[in-house]
C-alpha cells in the first residue's frame, strides 16, 4: 500500500484557499461544523504565522524522511506539506535545506505529526511549521512511503488537495469539495461576530445578547 | 451540587492584590510556605504578562462553556476568572468575544485547566490567559455548572475571592484571609533578596553567604 | 555513591567549545554520528539563545537544590551547569539568585532535567536555560548529591568536562575527547551545506541533487 | 504550614463506611452528584480489590516518606492512608514493611498520588494500593510534612475522616458529613438498577426504557 | 454533520470476520501491509480476550453517551461498538447496564477512545473492552452525535461495517472490502510462521533462516 | 559509531546473578545505593515474573529490529536482552518467533524501551518482557545498529554483561564489577528486614523501631 506517488491532484481555487486562511482556524473550524481540527499538541514553531494552502500529503516510516524529497517535486505555488509517520515518532524529519527547496517551489509551510529542526533558521526564512516536537534527531532515507495518498494526521483525515488552515490556534483541515461553502459560512460568521464584539465591548452581557437567562432559569440555575 | 451562582463574594483589598502581583508567583509561593501553586502544565499563552486579581471561580462540564457567560456578569474591576472542568478537557472554552466582554467588566485575565482559542487576538488585546492547552475546539451551552463555588484547579484549591497571582513562572493562589500577611512576608523576602543578589553578583559564593560549608562537611561531603 | 565533589576536571579547549557552539545542535549531532542528543522535552525558556560550554554536572535528590550551590564554586569561565535529579522531578531548582551567582563565575547557562523559575528575570539577565519544566515550586537543602560525576540527563550520558551544545533545536553532548574531531566534521558539513542550499534555492530538486531517482525506482516507487 | 499531626479526627460510622464500600466507586460517585472522583491515572496495583475506609491523610515532600511512619500511629481499624506529595513525584514511598505495620493497626489500604514498591508482596499480603506509579525508587526521611490535614490528591479534596471508596474503577472521596446521605442514595440507585438490568438483558432497548425517542427526534436526529 | 444514524450498513461475511479474529491483531496488521492499527494506548480492561466483529461506529460529544443508546439499537449479532469522542475525553461512557443491553443484541465488545467503568462487572460478564482509560466519571445525555458514520478512533479510520480485530496486542481495523483478501494473507502467514517457529525452537538462528549474513556484511557490520 | 557487534563480553558468575534475582529489584536497588533503576514506565507484560541475567545490549534504529536477530546469536544461557532505540519509538520490535529463538539459546527475558507484541503467546511461553509499550506495529530490517555496546535504556546506563534484575517493581541494572558486593549487601538487608517485619507485624511502630520520635520533635513536629 506504500510506494505510491500521486502526481495530479485537484486543488481548491487559490482565492478560496486564501479566504480560508484570512478567516483563521477557529472561525473555519466553527464554519464547517466543528470538524477537521488536529489535536492540540500540534504547535507552531514560532508565533504569529497564519497560512492556508492545498495539502500535499506524505506517509513516511518512523525516522525516515526520504518521501519528503519525493513530495517536494509535487509541490505547486500555494501548497502546504502535511506529513504523518506510519507509527508515532518525534524525529526531526525536516530542516532548513528542505525548507529552502520547498520555498523555491512555492510551498507555504509544513504540518507534521513528528519533529522538525533548524527552527531558528526556519523562522528567519519565514517558513512556518506546525509540529508535535522540535528535535534535532536525524532521519534516514531507506524505506518507501507514499505521497498524495489519504492520511490521518494528529487525529484529522487529510486527503491530497484538501485545504490546510493553520495559525496560533492550531491546524484545521477543510475537505476540498467543501472549501467554497465553508468559506461562505466563515465570512457570514465573521460579519456576525463584528456586531457582537462591538456590543460586548460596550458592556452588554452575553447573557442578554444571546438571550440565555430564561433557559438558564428553566434548567434551575440558582443565584444565591 | 451544580447550578449555583454565588453573587456576593468577599475580595481582598485591591492594594493587597496589586502588591502580590508586583511580587510575582515565585516570591508569593515562598512567602506563604510553598503552598497554593498550580501544576506546571498551566502555561501563559504569551510571555511577559504578570497579573494578580480576585478569583471568580467557574466549575463547568467538559466541552461546555455556558457558565463562563454566567460568570462574566459576576466580574468586578480587578477580578480574574478561574475555570476547572468537572472532568479533564482540552476544548477551547474561551476566545476573543468572551475576552472582550470580560475586559469590559474590568477582568484582568483567565486561568483555565482546559483550552483557549483566538490566542493571537487575546495577545493583541492584552488579555492574558494561563491554560493547559491551546485549542480551537468549540464548546456548547447545554448543561449547568456553578459560579463562585470552591474548585480544584490544576491541583490547587481555589475559593471565590482568593487572590490569583500569575506570571511566566505559573499560577499561585493565596487564600483571601491570608493575603495581607503573605504580602508582608513577600516584601520582607524581596528586601532580603536584594542584598543577597548584590553580594552574589560581586562573586561571593552561596556556600559562604548561607554558611553551608560546615553542615555539608558534617554530612560527609567529600572534595576529591 | 553520592556526596562527592570532583574539583579538577578536564575541559576541551575553549576555541573548540566555541566552534561547536557556532555550529549548533543539529549540525553537531550529525557530525558525531547522531549521538548525544537529549530528549525533545528539554526546551529553552526563551528563544534565540545558542551556547556551548564545558559541563559541570550535578546529581541532586528530587526537590533538593543544595548541590547547585556546591557546583557553583566549581564553575569556571565557559562552563555550563547540567543537572539530573536522582528521580523524576519538576520542581524549580534554580532561579535568578543562583543565576546571578553562576554568571559571576562565568557560567554560560543551565541544562536541567527538572524545573526552573524566575524565567522572566533569567531572560532579562541573558542567562539561558534548557529545562523539562517551568515551575515556581521551591526546593530544600537537606540531602547530599554529587558534583562532577557522570550523569544521565534526559537520555544522554554527560561526563564532567564534556561539551554541551544548546540552541532552539535542543541540547547535544559531545564527549570531551571527541570535541576537536567533531568540530572538524561539523565545519566540513557546513561548507558542504552552503553549496546545497544555493542549488536548492535555485529550484534544483533534492531528488536530482542527491541522485535519488534511480534508487527509488529500483525499490519500486510508482508514480500514478 | 507543615509539621502538624492532628490526632483526633472524626470518622463516619463503620457500617456507613462498609455500605459505601459495598456500593463501589461508580455508584457512589453518581450518588453524590458526580463529585469526589480522583483522576483516572490512579490505578490499583492488582485487580479485584474493593475497599472503603476513613481517610488518614498525609502531606509529604517529594521523595520523603517520613510522614508515613508518623501516620501509621494515627491509624485505627477501618482506616485508609491517603498520601499526596507536595510536588509531583513517582518515587516508591511505601512497601511491604510499611504495609505490615499498617495492617497490624487495621489499615485497609493505601491511596497515593506517587509510587509504591514490593507490589507482588503487597498482593500476597492482601494489602490493596491505588497509585500513580509502581516504582522501586527509595525515599528518605529528612523533612517534615503533615498528617491529618486537608490535602488535594489526584484532583480530589480529601479531609481527614472522609470516606475513601476504591475499586477497579478508581477512587472516590465522600465527605464525612455526607456519608450517610450518600449511602442512602447509592442504595436507592442500586435497587433501581436491578430492574433496569433485568429489562435490558431481556432485550428491551435503553431508547425505550428511558423514553428517549421523542427527545432525540425533537433535537433533529435523523435515521437514514 | 452530526445527528445522523445510518441504519443499513454492509458487513463482511461472519466466517471471514471470525477467521480474522482467530488470526489476531499482529498477524492481521502484517497481512494488510501494516495499516489499520490503533495507537498503543488503547488497552484491554482485562487480559486474554480476543475478538473480531463488524464495526458499529459512534461519534459522540465529550462527556455525553447518549449516542451509545442509539447505537445499541443498530447492533446485530457479531458486531463491535467503536466510539470516538469529538474531542479528547476520558470520561466513563459505558458500564455494566449498557453492556447488558449490548450483549442482549449479540455485541462482542467495545472499542472506545475514552473511558469505561464497572470494569470488574464487565469482566465477570465476559464483555471485553479496549479503551484509553478506566474512569467512573459519569456522562450526560444532552447533545446529538452520529451512529454509523466514518470516524477516526485512536489514529485509525473506521468505517461502519469494517472488521475490528482486538486482542492483548491492541486493536486493528480491516476495511470491509479487503476482509477476505486479508484473511487469506493472514492464513498464509500463519502457515509460514509455523515452520519458522519449529526451526527457531530447534536452535537455528534467524541470521541463517532469513539469510541475513550477507546483507549485514555488505552494509559493513563488524564483529569485534 | 553503529554497526558493531562485540562478541566476547564478560559476565558475572551465574550464582551471583541468580542471587540478585532472588533478592528482587527493590532490595537490589537499595543495596547498591539507590542507583541503576530504570524509569517507572518500564512495565512487565504479565505479572509475577522475577528474573536476573547478564545484559546483551542492543542499540537499534526506530522501527528497525534487525539487530535483535544479530543479538540472538550472541546470547548464552542466563542472558537477558536489553534494547534501547536510538530515538523514542513504541513499535513492536519483538514477538513470539524471536522469543522462540531467544529461549532456544537460554535467554531469560527482554527489557526494551519500545514496544513488543504477541504478548499472550509470550506469557504462554513463559518469556517475560519489560517494555514501554505493547504494540503490534511491525518493524523493518534496513539499517545497522550495534550489539553489546553501552546504551542508555529508560534512564539507566547498561553495559554489556551488567546484571539485569527485573520483577513487578520494575528493572534495575547492577554493574558487573559490583555484582558480588551488591549481592552481599542485598542479603544483609534481607536478613535485617526479616526481624523488622516480625516486630512491625506484632504492632510495634516504626516511630519506635527506628527511634524517630526524638528527631521529629527536634525538627518541630507538633501533635495537636
Beta strands F43-44; F4-5: pairing state: unpaired
Which one, of F138, F104, F79, lies nearest residue E206 by Cα?
F104
Helix segments in chain A, DSSP class H: 14-23, 25-31, 66-74, 96-104, 119-125, 179-201, 206-209, 213-219
Distance between CA atoms of E98 and E102, rounded to whole angstroms?
A: 6
Is C118 buried (19+), middle (13-18) or exposed (0-12) by CB count in 10 A? buried
Name every chain A residue with its beta carbon within 8 A of the beta carbon of F89.
Answer: 62-63, 87-89
Alpha-carbon dihedral sign for residues F109, F113, F115, F119: positive
SS3 at position E49:
coil
**CB-closest option in C87, C135, C143 to D142:** C143
Tell me the three cell numbers of residue A203: 458592556
Convert the pLDDT of each residue in D116-157 to its tens digit.
999 999 999 999 999 999 999 999 999 999 999 999 999 999
- Across the interface, whether the CB atoms of D4 and F222 are under 8 A apart is answered yes
State the burial class of residue F206 (Cβ atoms within 10 Å of its Cβ: 0-12, 13-18, 19+): buried
Residue-wise pLDDT tens digits, A185-219: 999 999 999 999 999 999 999 999 999 999 999 99
C-alpha radius of gyration, chain C, whole number:
20
Which stretches within A32-172 are classed as H helix?
Answer: 66-74, 96-104, 119-125
On whether any CB of chain A is under 8 Å from the CB of C37, the answer is yes
> Residue D82 is inside which H or E element, if any?
strand D79-85
Contact of D156 with D36, CB cutoff 8 Å: yes
**Residue recorded with cell 536478613:** F191
> What stretches of chain E adopt beta strand conformation (E)?
4-5, 43-44, 51-60, 79-85, 110-116, 129-134, 146-147, 151-153, 156-158, 163-167, 170-174, 222-223
Give, to the nearest 10 degrees, the angle between helix F179-201 and helix D96-104: 0
- Rounded distance, CA D224 to CA E148, Å? 10
Please state the pTM of the whole predicted model: 0.97
Percentage of chain F with pLDDT > 90? Answer: 99
Tens-place pLDDT, residues F39-95:
999 999 999 999 999 999 999 999 999 999 999 999 999 999 999 999 999 999 999
Does residue C169 surpass a pLDDT of 80? yes
Q: Which residues in chain D are contacts of B145 at CB distance < 8 A?
A: none
Give the mean model confidence (pLDDT) for residues F129-151.
97
In sequence order, what DSSP letters do the residues of E90-132 get, joined into one string? --B---HHHHHHHHHTT---EEEEEEE--HHHHHHHT--EEEE
The pLDDT confidence band at residue C140, using thresholds 50, 70 and 90, is: very high
Q: How far away is chain A from the Cα of B144, in angstroms, using its nearest Cα?
A: 7
Q: Do D157 and B152 touch (CB under 8 A)?
A: yes
Exposure b/e, B192-208, CB count within 10 A at least 16 = b: ebeebbebbeeeebbbe
Say how many C-beta atoms besides its own lie within 10 A of residue A17's C-beta: 26
Query: What are C14's three cell numbers?
Result: 575553549
Chain B residues closer than 8 Å to A222 by CB? 3-5
F56, three cell numbers? 546483551
Smallest CA-to-CA distance from D121 within D141, D137, D100 is with D100
Question: Does D212 contact E95 at a Cβ distance shorter than 8 Å?
Answer: no
Chains A and B physically touch (3 or more Cβ atom pairs below 8 Å): yes
Contact: chain C with chain E (3+ CB pairs below 8 Å): no
E165/C104 Cα distance (integer angstroms): 63
CB E189 within 8 A of CB E30: yes
Taking CB atoms and an 8 Å cutoff, what residues of chain B touch D88? 39
Distance from CA of C70 to the nearest CA of B (A): 7
Using CA coordinates, name the residue in chain F closest to C156: F152
Among residues C173, C66, C37, the alpha carbon closest in space to that of B213 is found at C66
Shortest CA gap E155–chain A (Å): 6
Residue C164, strand partner residues: C53, C173
Supply the DSSP symbol for F177.
G
* Strand spans (E) along C33-186: 43-44, 51-60, 79-85, 110-116, 129-134, 146-147, 151-153, 156-158, 163-167, 170-174
Q: Considering only CB atoms, which chain E residues are within 8 Å of A2?
A: 33
Q: Does residue C47 belong to the interface with chain B, where contact is any CB pair within 8 Å?
A: no
pLDDT of D221 > 80? The answer is yes
Give strand pairing partners of E134: E116
Instruction: Report the C-alpha gap between A191 and D5 in whole angstroms.
Output: 62
Q: Could you tell me if D118 lies within 8 Å of chain F, comparing CB atoms?
A: yes
Look at F168 and D3 and tell me if their CB atoms are within 8 Å. Answer: no
CA separation for the pair D84, A88 (Å, rounded): 33
3-state secondary structure of C173: strand
- Strand duo F163-167 + F51-60: pairing: antiparallel
Share of residues in chain E with pLDDT > 90 (%): 99
Q: Which residue shows C-alpha cell 484473511?
A: E183
CB of D35 less than 8 A from some CB of B: yes
Q: How far apart are the first and last CA of chain A?
A: 63
pLDDT value for E102: 98
Spatial separation of the C-alpha atoms in residues D60 and D72, rounded to whole Å: 14
Q: Which of E87, E116, E132 to mutate to test the interface with B (most CBs of B within 10 A)?
A: E87
From D83, E189, F146, D13, select the one nearest E197 (Cα to Cα): E189
Per-residue pLDDT band at D1 (split at 50, 70, 90): low
d(CA C64, CA C58) in angstroms, rounded, equals: 11
Any D CB within 8 A of F216 CB? yes
Spatial separation of the C-alpha atoms in residues B67 and B88, rounded to whole Å:
16
Give the count of Cβ contacts less than 8 A between chain C and D. Answer: 36
Among A107, A98, A171, A198, which Cα is nearest to A141's?
A: A98
**Rounded Cα–Cα distance for residues B135 and B154 (Å):** 18
Interface with B, mutate which of A50, A192, A216, A218 (most B CBs under 10 A): A216
What pLDDT does residue D59 have?
A: 98
Left (φ > 0), alpha (ψ -120 to 50) or beta: where does C63 sit? left
Task: Give the cell for residue B216.
Answer: 555539608
Q: What is the pLDDT of residue C1?
A: 60
pLDDT digits (tens, 9 = 90+) for D13-66: 999 999 999 999 999 999 999 999 999 999 999 999 999 999 999 999 999 999
Quote the minimal CA–CA distance from D34 to chain B in Å: 9
pLDDT of residue C2: 87
Nearest one of C143, F24, C62 to D90, comparing CA atoms:
C62
Dump strand ranges (E) for chain B.
4-5, 43-44, 51-60, 79-85, 109-116, 129-134, 146-147, 151-153, 156-158, 163-167, 170-174, 222-223
Where chain A has pLDDT below 70, the residues are 1
Look at residue B2 in the predicted model and tell me its pLDDT. 87
| Residues with Cβ within 8 Å of residue A15, at least 6 apart in sequence | none
Measured in angstroms, the CA of B207 and the nearest CA of chain D are apart by 21
Cell matching residue B212: 553551608
Q: Is B143 on the interface with D (CB under 8 A)?
A: no
Average pLDDT over residues D68-95: 98
Helix (H) or strand (E) run with residue F83 in it? strand F79-85
First to last CA, chain D: 63
The percent of residues above 70 in pLDDT, for chain F, comes to 100
Is residue C84 classed exposed, middle or buried when 0-12, 13-18 and 19+ CB atoms within 10 A define those classes?
Answer: buried
Instruction: Report helix, strand or coil for D72.
Output: helix
Q: Are residues D113 and D69 in contact, defined by beta-carbon separation less than 8 angstroms?
A: no
Phi, psi of D154, rounded to the nearest 5 degrees:
50, 40
Nearest-neighbour CA in chain C from F171: distance (Å):
14
Residue numbers in chain B where pLDDT is lower than 50: none
* Residue linked to cell 453518581: D30
What is the mean pLDDT of the segment spanning D6-11?
97
Output the pLDDT for position F1. 60
Q: Does residue F176 register a pLDDT over 80?
A: yes
Half-sphere exposure of F7 (CA within 13 A, CB side): 5
Amino acid at each position: 500500500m506504500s510506494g505510491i506517488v500521486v502526481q495530479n491532484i485537484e486543488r481548491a481555487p487559490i482565492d478560496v484557499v486564501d479566504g480560508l486562511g484570512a478567516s483563521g482556524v477557529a472561525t473555519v473550524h466553527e464554519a464547517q461544523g466543528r470538524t477537521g481540527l488536529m489535536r492540540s499538541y500540534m504547535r507552531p514553531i514560532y508565533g504569529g504565522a497564519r497560512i492556508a494552502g492545498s495539502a500535499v500529503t506524505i506517509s513516511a516510516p518512523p525516522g525516515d524522511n526520504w518521501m519528503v524529497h519525493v513530495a517536494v517535486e509535487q509541490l505547486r505555488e500555494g501548497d502546504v506539506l502535511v506529513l504523518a509517520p506510519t507509527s508515532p515518532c518525534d524525529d526531526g524529519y525536516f530542516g532548513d535545506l528542505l525548507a529552502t527547496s520547498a520555498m523555491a517551489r512555492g510551498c507555504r509551510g509544513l504540518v507534521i505529526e513528528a519533529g522538525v529542526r533548524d527552527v531558528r533558521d526556519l523562522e528567519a526564512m519565514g517558513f512556518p511549521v506546525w509540529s508535535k516536537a522540535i528535535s534535532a534527531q536525524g532521519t534516514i532515507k531507506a524505506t518507501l512511503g507514499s505521497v498524495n495518498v489519504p492520511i490521518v494526521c494528529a487525529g484529522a483525515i487529510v486527503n491530497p488537495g484538501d485545504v490546510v488552515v493553520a495559525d496560533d490556534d492550531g491546524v484545521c483541515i477543510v475537505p476540498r469539495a467543501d472549501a467554497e461553502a465553508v468559506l461562505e459560512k466563515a465570512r457570514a460568521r465573521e460579519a456576525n461576530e463584528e456586531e457582537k464584539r462591538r456590543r460586548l465591548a460596550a458592556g452588554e452581557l452575553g447573557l442578554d445578547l444571546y438571550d440565555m437567562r430564561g433557559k438558564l432559569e428553566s434548567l434551575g440555575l440558582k443565584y444565591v
